[in-house]
Structure formats: C-alpha cells, structure tokens
Amino acid sequence: MIAFLVGFVSFLLAGFGLGGGVLLIPLITFIFPLDQADAKYIALIAYLPAAIGVIISCILEKKTEFAKIVSIIPIGILGSVSGTVISNNIETAFLKKIYSLFLICVGIYMSLNTIFFIKKRQKRKF
C-alpha cells in the first residue's frame, strides 16, 4: 500500500511538470531500505506505465509531433547507454552525490522558471 502511494504521489507531481522520478528516488531511499542504484532502476521502470498512459492519450488526441523527434531519439539512446554504463561502474555514495547535485540544479531551474513565468503573465495583464 505504501509502495502504491509512493508511486502515486511522485507521478501526481510529475503531471505538473516536476519530472517523473525526481521525487520518487528520494522517497524510495527514505521509506524503503534500498540504495540509490536500486531506486534509480525503480524510477526507470515506474516511468514506463506513466509514459504509456500519456502516449496513448496523445495519440488519441493527436497532440504530439513525433516526426520531429525521431531523428534525435538515437542520440538520446546513445546518451542513455553511456549514462547507464557509467552509473553501473561507480560507487553508490558518489552516485548519490551526483543525484543530490542534480536535484539542487533542477530545483533552482524550476523555481526560477516558474517565477519568471508568473512575472511574465502579470506583465501581460497590464
């Protein structure tokens, strides 16, 4: 039940633009006795059903531009493979530090983005 709630809450916030597994990984490491690498694997797997739901609804509503990203997906896959190979070979503690640094950058980026977006909307009103 707790596992269900953990997944539900993390991806509820993802719907608002917070990023799929960004909150999931700290929640998993906090609640369950799992380390960073295991939490990463869970986040990758948990993203798939959420993404499938979005993809199906987008195909039905025709609100996506798949053709434009077809050419860049292979490059993304290359990056993904390199990232996974690197993470498989580094220590968990170091991976956790990289993740913490990433969280700080994401948090700052998102808060600044949202603040500037709010200010832009307020300026338009006048």
Partner 1 sequence: MKKKYIYFTSYMAGLVNGMIGSGGGIIALPMLYKILDNEKNAHNTVCFFVFPLSVISASICKKNIEFHVIFPICVGAFFGGVVGKILSNKIKLKYLKIFFSLIIIYIGIRGLI
Distance of CA 3 to the CA centre of its chain: 18
Told to check if 92 binds partner 1 by CB under 8 A, we report no
Q: Which is nearer to partner 1, 48 or 123 (CB)?
A: 48
Among positions 7-26, residues that touch partner 1 (CB under 8 A) are: 7-26
Q: Which is nearer to partner 1, 85 or 126 (CB)?
A: 85
Among positions 96-115, residues that touch partner 1 (CB under 8 A) are: 96-111, 114-115
Among positions 42-81, residues that touch partner 1 (CB under 8 A) are: 42-55, 57-58, 63-66, 68-69, 72-73, 75-81
Told to check if 119 binds partner 1 by CB under 8 A, we report no
